[in-house]
Amino acid sequence: MCDCLFCKFVSGELETKKLYEDENMIIIRDINPQAKNHFLAIPKQHFKLIADATPEQVEIIGKCLKKISELTDLLELQNGYRLVINQGDDAGQSVFHLHIHILSGQKMGWQPA
């Protein structure tokens, strides 16, 4: 997808500081943090919504979730963390390339819409 910001980060077309990278994803800091630590896990394959994902892409999401849980020190997850996947306009998805928000480093309340 040539006009996708996250695809450009994955490909290196646009420079970003990657905190982590493997065959399935990259992890970067969010430019608009909503917690002390706010990272984005971005799958390397482009798809907009979980509903659009192929079975192989669903497997990749699972691998990404598992890897996040293994990056405790890098992402400062020791005291707990929150994962968020926004899906669509009403949920606040602003980049239409599926990604996982990782929030940590502080006590969090719950403020649903």
- The C-alpha angle 41, 2, 15, rounded to 5 degrees, equals 55
Q: Which residues are tagged catalytic?
A: 99
> Do residues 52 and 93 make contact, with C-beta atoms less than 8 angstroms apart?
no
